[in-house]
Amino acid sequence: MNAPARRIIALRDVFKIYGSGDTEVRALNGVNLDIDEGDFVAVMGSSGSGKSTCMNMLGCLDTPTHGAYRFYDVEVGDLSHDERALLRRHYIGFVFQSFNLLARTSAVENVELPLIYKGVPRKQRRDLALDALDRVGLADRFDHTPAQLSGGQQQRVAIARAIVTAPAFLVADEPTGNLDSARSVEIMRLLQGLNADGITIIMVTHEPDIAAFARRVLIFRDGLITQDGTPREVLS
Protein backbone atom coordinates (compact mmCIF):
# COMPACT_ATOMS: atom_id res chain seq x y z
CA MET A 1 0.00 0.00 0.00
CA ASN A 2 1.33 3.43 -0.95
CA ALA A 3 1.93 5.92 1.86
CA PRO A 4 -0.40 8.95 1.83
CA ALA A 5 0.99 12.05 0.14
CA ARG A 6 2.72 14.46 2.49
CA ARG A 7 1.09 17.88 2.90
CA ILE A 8 3.27 20.72 1.62
CA ILE A 9 0.97 23.71 2.15
CA ALA A 10 -1.74 24.42 4.71
CA LEU A 11 -3.56 27.77 4.81
CA ARG A 12 -5.87 28.25 7.76
CA ASP A 13 -8.27 31.23 7.93
CA VAL A 14 -5.84 33.40 5.98
CA PHE A 15 -6.70 37.07 5.61
CA LYS A 16 -4.75 39.71 3.71
CA ILE A 17 -6.02 43.19 4.49
CA TYR A 18 -4.84 46.44 2.96
CA GLY A 19 -5.77 49.83 4.40
CA SER A 20 -8.18 50.41 7.24
CA GLY A 21 -11.58 51.91 7.93
CA ASP A 22 -13.34 53.11 4.81
CA THR A 23 -10.32 52.23 2.65
CA GLU A 24 -9.95 48.66 3.93
CA VAL A 25 -9.63 46.01 1.22
CA ARG A 26 -9.73 42.31 2.08
CA ALA A 27 -7.75 40.74 -0.73
CA LEU A 28 -8.03 37.39 1.09
CA ASN A 29 -11.01 36.90 3.36
CA GLY A 30 -10.43 33.73 5.36
CA VAL A 31 -8.90 31.26 2.90
CA ASN A 32 -8.42 27.60 3.81
CA LEU A 33 -6.36 25.43 1.47
CA ASP A 34 -4.33 22.21 1.56
CA ILE A 35 -1.87 21.17 -1.16
CA ASP A 36 -0.13 17.81 -1.02
CA GLU A 37 2.96 16.47 -2.70
CA GLY A 38 2.12 15.46 -6.27
CA ASP A 39 -0.78 17.87 -6.72
CA PHE A 40 -1.21 19.81 -9.96
CA VAL A 41 -3.46 22.75 -9.12
CA ALA A 42 -4.80 25.36 -11.53
CA VAL A 43 -5.82 28.65 -9.89
CA MET A 44 -8.43 30.79 -11.63
CA GLY A 45 -10.44 33.91 -10.90
CA SER A 46 -11.18 37.37 -12.24
CA SER A 47 -9.05 40.43 -11.54
CA GLY A 48 -9.38 41.36 -7.88
CA SER A 49 -10.58 37.90 -6.87
CA GLY A 50 -7.61 37.24 -4.57
CA LYS A 51 -5.80 34.65 -6.67
CA SER A 52 -2.66 36.76 -7.22
CA THR A 53 -2.50 37.69 -3.55
CA CYS A 54 -2.79 34.01 -2.63
CA MET A 55 -0.07 33.04 -5.09
CA ASN A 56 2.23 35.70 -3.63
CA MET A 57 1.53 34.18 -0.23
CA LEU A 58 2.27 30.63 -1.38
CA GLY A 59 5.48 31.82 -3.06
CA CYS A 60 6.58 33.43 0.22
CA LEU A 61 6.57 36.88 -1.36
CA ASP A 62 4.00 38.06 1.20
CA THR A 63 2.64 37.03 4.59
CA PRO A 64 -0.90 36.88 6.04
CA THR A 65 -2.41 39.75 7.98
CA HIS A 66 -4.21 37.11 10.03
CA GLY A 67 -4.25 33.32 9.90
CA ALA A 68 -1.61 30.69 9.36
CA TYR A 69 0.48 29.51 6.40
CA ARG A 70 2.37 26.33 7.20
CA PHE A 71 4.97 25.09 4.73
CA TYR A 72 5.53 21.49 5.78
CA ASP A 73 5.97 22.06 9.54
CA VAL A 74 7.16 25.68 9.34
CA GLU A 75 4.93 28.67 10.11
CA VAL A 76 5.85 31.04 7.29
CA GLY A 77 4.39 34.09 9.02
CA ASP A 78 6.99 33.70 11.77
CA LEU A 79 9.93 33.84 9.35
CA SER A 80 12.02 36.94 8.74
CA HIS A 81 12.33 38.50 5.27
CA ASP A 82 15.72 36.80 4.81
CA GLU A 83 14.41 33.44 5.99
CA ARG A 84 11.54 33.62 3.49
CA ALA A 85 14.07 34.44 0.77
CA LEU A 86 16.04 31.31 1.67
CA LEU A 87 12.85 29.25 1.62
CA ARG A 88 12.07 30.53 -1.90
CA ARG A 89 15.62 29.86 -3.06
CA HIS A 90 15.76 26.29 -1.80
CA TYR A 91 12.18 25.02 -2.01
CA ILE A 92 10.16 26.93 -4.63
CA GLY A 93 10.61 27.12 -8.40
CA PHE A 94 9.03 29.94 -10.41
CA VAL A 95 7.90 30.02 -14.07
CA PHE A 96 6.66 33.29 -15.54
CA GLN A 97 4.62 34.29 -18.57
CA SER A 98 7.49 36.38 -19.94
CA PHE A 99 10.19 33.66 -19.55
CA ASN A 100 12.65 36.09 -17.84
CA LEU A 101 15.76 34.62 -19.46
CA LEU A 102 19.07 36.48 -19.73
CA ALA A 103 19.30 37.48 -23.38
CA ARG A 104 23.04 37.07 -23.95
CA THR A 105 23.37 33.89 -21.93
CA SER A 106 23.10 30.34 -23.23
CA ALA A 107 20.29 28.00 -22.24
CA VAL A 108 22.48 25.96 -19.93
CA GLU A 109 23.88 29.08 -18.26
CA ASN A 110 20.35 30.40 -17.71
CA VAL A 111 19.39 27.11 -16.07
CA GLU A 112 22.51 27.22 -13.87
CA LEU A 113 21.59 30.56 -12.27
CA PRO A 114 19.60 29.25 -9.27
CA LEU A 115 22.43 26.82 -8.54
CA ILE A 116 24.95 29.66 -8.50
CA TYR A 117 22.84 31.41 -5.87
CA LYS A 118 22.83 28.17 -3.86
CA GLY A 119 26.61 27.89 -4.05
CA VAL A 120 26.68 24.62 -6.03
CA PRO A 121 30.17 23.89 -7.45
CA ARG A 122 30.66 24.62 -11.16
CA LYS A 123 30.97 21.05 -12.44
CA GLN A 124 27.97 19.84 -10.45
CA ARG A 125 25.75 22.73 -11.51
CA ARG A 126 26.62 22.20 -15.18
CA ASP A 127 25.67 18.51 -14.89
CA LEU A 128 22.42 19.36 -13.10
CA ALA A 129 21.55 22.05 -15.65
CA LEU A 130 22.17 19.72 -18.59
CA ASP A 131 20.01 17.06 -16.94
CA ALA A 132 17.20 19.60 -16.42
CA LEU A 133 17.38 20.65 -20.09
CA ASP A 134 17.21 17.00 -21.07
CA ARG A 135 14.05 16.60 -18.97
CA VAL A 136 12.35 19.39 -20.96
CA GLY A 137 13.57 18.08 -24.32
CA LEU A 138 16.25 20.68 -25.02
CA ALA A 139 19.50 18.81 -24.41
CA ASP A 140 20.57 19.52 -28.00
CA ARG A 141 20.02 23.30 -27.61
CA PHE A 142 22.07 23.79 -24.46
CA ASP A 143 24.40 26.33 -26.09
CA HIS A 144 21.66 28.41 -27.78
CA THR A 145 20.79 31.91 -26.55
CA PRO A 146 17.13 32.92 -26.15
CA ALA A 147 17.23 34.74 -29.51
CA GLN A 148 18.06 31.40 -31.16
CA LEU A 149 15.07 29.67 -29.56
CA SER A 150 11.33 29.81 -30.26
CA GLY A 151 8.92 31.07 -27.62
CA GLY A 152 7.99 27.52 -26.64
CA GLN A 153 11.66 26.55 -26.36
CA GLN A 154 12.37 29.61 -24.22
CA GLN A 155 9.60 28.58 -21.85
CA ARG A 156 11.10 25.09 -21.69
CA VAL A 157 14.41 26.65 -20.64
CA ALA A 158 12.53 28.64 -17.99
CA ILE A 159 10.89 25.45 -16.72
CA ALA A 160 14.27 23.70 -16.63
CA ARG A 161 15.63 26.61 -14.58
CA ALA A 162 12.69 26.27 -12.18
CA ILE A 163 13.12 22.53 -11.61
CA VAL A 164 16.93 22.35 -11.53
CA THR A 165 17.01 22.87 -7.76
CA ALA A 166 14.50 20.04 -7.17
CA PRO A 167 12.00 22.39 -5.47
CA ALA A 168 9.20 21.25 -3.19
CA PHE A 169 6.75 22.84 -5.61
CA LEU A 170 6.60 24.86 -8.80
CA VAL A 171 4.68 28.15 -9.10
CA ALA A 172 3.71 28.78 -12.74
CA ASP A 173 2.17 32.20 -13.45
CA GLU A 174 0.31 32.11 -16.79
CA PRO A 175 3.03 29.85 -18.28
CA THR A 176 1.34 29.77 -21.71
CA GLY A 177 0.28 33.42 -21.81
CA ASN A 178 2.83 34.40 -24.49
CA LEU A 179 2.48 31.25 -26.61
CA ASP A 180 0.24 30.21 -29.48
CA SER A 181 -2.21 27.34 -29.10
CA ALA A 182 0.09 24.59 -30.35
CA ARG A 183 3.02 25.68 -28.18
CA SER A 184 0.68 26.07 -25.21
CA VAL A 185 -0.40 22.45 -25.53
CA GLU A 186 3.25 21.36 -25.73
CA ILE A 187 4.11 23.23 -22.54
CA MET A 188 1.09 21.86 -20.69
CA ARG A 189 1.91 18.30 -21.73
CA LEU A 190 5.46 18.90 -20.48
CA LEU A 191 4.12 20.12 -17.14
CA GLN A 192 1.81 17.10 -16.94
CA GLY A 193 4.81 14.84 -17.52
CA LEU A 194 6.85 16.58 -14.82
CA ASN A 195 3.90 16.27 -12.46
CA ALA A 196 3.62 12.56 -13.25
CA ASP A 197 7.30 12.32 -12.25
CA GLY A 198 6.43 13.76 -8.85
CA ILE A 199 6.78 17.53 -9.21
CA THR A 200 4.03 19.49 -7.44
CA ILE A 201 2.69 22.37 -9.54
CA ILE A 202 0.53 25.38 -8.69
CA MET A 203 -0.44 27.28 -11.84
CA VAL A 204 -2.34 30.51 -12.42
CA THR A 205 -4.31 30.69 -15.65
CA HIS A 206 -7.38 32.48 -16.96
CA GLU A 207 -7.96 29.92 -19.72
CA PRO A 208 -10.25 26.95 -18.98
CA ASP A 209 -8.62 24.81 -21.68
CA ILE A 210 -5.25 25.28 -19.97
CA ALA A 211 -6.69 24.66 -16.50
CA ALA A 212 -8.12 21.37 -17.81
CA PHE A 213 -4.58 19.93 -17.94
CA ALA A 214 -4.36 20.13 -14.13
CA ARG A 215 -5.61 17.53 -11.67
CA ARG A 216 -7.44 20.10 -9.56
CA VAL A 217 -8.94 23.55 -10.19
CA LEU A 218 -9.50 26.34 -7.67
CA ILE A 219 -11.78 29.30 -8.39
CA PHE A 220 -11.26 32.51 -6.40
CA ARG A 221 -13.95 35.12 -5.92
CA ASP A 222 -14.06 38.05 -3.47
CA GLY A 223 -11.04 36.81 -1.55
CA LEU A 224 -12.31 33.27 -1.07
CA ILE A 225 -12.02 29.90 -2.80
CA THR A 226 -15.53 29.30 -4.06
CA GLN A 227 -14.86 26.10 -6.03
CA ASP A 228 -12.29 23.34 -5.55
CA GLY A 229 -12.46 20.11 -7.53
CA THR A 230 -11.38 18.22 -10.60
CA PRO A 231 -11.43 20.02 -13.96
CA ARG A 232 -14.54 18.01 -14.90
CA GLU A 233 -16.31 19.13 -11.72
CA VAL A 234 -15.30 22.80 -11.85
CA LEU A 235 -15.04 23.62 -15.56
CA SER A 236 -17.99 21.72 -17.01
| CA dist., res. 228 & res. 41, Å (int) | 10
Q: Return the axis-axis angle of helices 151-163 and 122-135, rounded to nearest 10°.
A: 130
Decide if pLDDT at 1 tops 80.
no
Give the Cα separation of 213 and 191 in Å (integer). Answer: 9
Average confidence (pLDDT) over 109-115: 95
- Mean pLDDT (whole number) for 197-206: 95
- pLDDT tens-digit map of 154-196: 999 999 999 999 999 999 999 998 899 999 999 999 999 999 9
Each domain of the chain, given as residue ranges in start order, spans 37-63+78-235
Q: Whose CA is closest to 40, among 226, 210, 221, 223?
A: 210
Give pLDDT tens digits for 5-42: 899 999 999 999 999 888 899 999 999 999 999 999 99
CATH superfamily to which 37-63+78-235 belongs: P-loop containing nucleotide triphosphate hydrolases (3.40.50.300)
For the stretch 230-236, contacts whose Cβ atoms lie closer than 8 Å and that sit 24 or more positions apart, written own/partner, are 231/42, 235/208, 235/211
Strand 169-173 versus strand 200-204 pairing type: parallel
| Chain segment 57-96, per-residue pLDDT in tens | 999 999 999 999 999 989 998 999 999 999 998 999 999 8
- Pairing, β 66-71 against β 7-18: antiparallel
State residue 110's pLDDT score. 96
Report pLDDT for 117: 87
pLDDT at 4 over 80: no
Q: Give the number of other CB atoms < 10 A from CB of residue 27.
A: 22
- Distance CA(71)–CA(145), nearest Å, equals 36
Report the chain's terminal Cα–Cα distance, integer Å.
33
Cβ atoms 223, 33 nearer than 8 A: no
DSSP 214: S
CA dist list (Å): 184 to 152, 206, 227: 8, 13, 25
**What confidence tens digit (pLDDT) does each residue in 137-150 have?**
999 999 999 999 99
